[in-house]
Amino acid sequence: MLVGKVKSWIKSNQFLLLVSWFMLGDTARYGLRRPPVGPLELKSLLGKTPVLDVGTLAKIKSGEIKVQPAIRRMTGHRVEFVDGRSEDFDAIVLATGYENNVPSWLKVRIDQELI
């Protein structure tokens, strides 16, 4: 029974990878590298999965939003990237490394038991 569940999990993970590839295309072309494993495996390993808003992806594809490399440091409006470049910005619209804090404030009670 366990072997069947594992096989089903693997197939589901591979299916999700395939579907996301067809829906989103090659996101690496736009500077968005995909994790080497599927979303179910990533959730199992790290407890989280990457999230990409399709509206944001459309703006990246059109060039309205430019993906930059990782930030080494920020000083005022000046941003220094890990590749050594520096630029001035008025605002940073998106940043990776977002930590979801929903579990810390969203608690659900079922039959007087906090879950």
What are the sequence ranges of the domains in the chain? 1-50, 68-115
Contact in structure between 94 and 65 (CB atoms under 8 Å): yes
Give per-10-residue mean pLDDT for the chain (115 aa): 61 79 86 80 77 84 88 91 93 68 60 54
Q: In this structure, are residues 16 and 25 in contact, taking their beta carbons and an 8 Å threshold?
A: no
* H-run or E-run covering 88: strand 86-88
Q: For the chain, what is the largest distance between any 2 Cα atoms, rounded to a whole number of angstroms? A: 58
pTM for this prediction: 0.59
Backbone angles phi, psi at 65, to 5 degrees: -120, 130
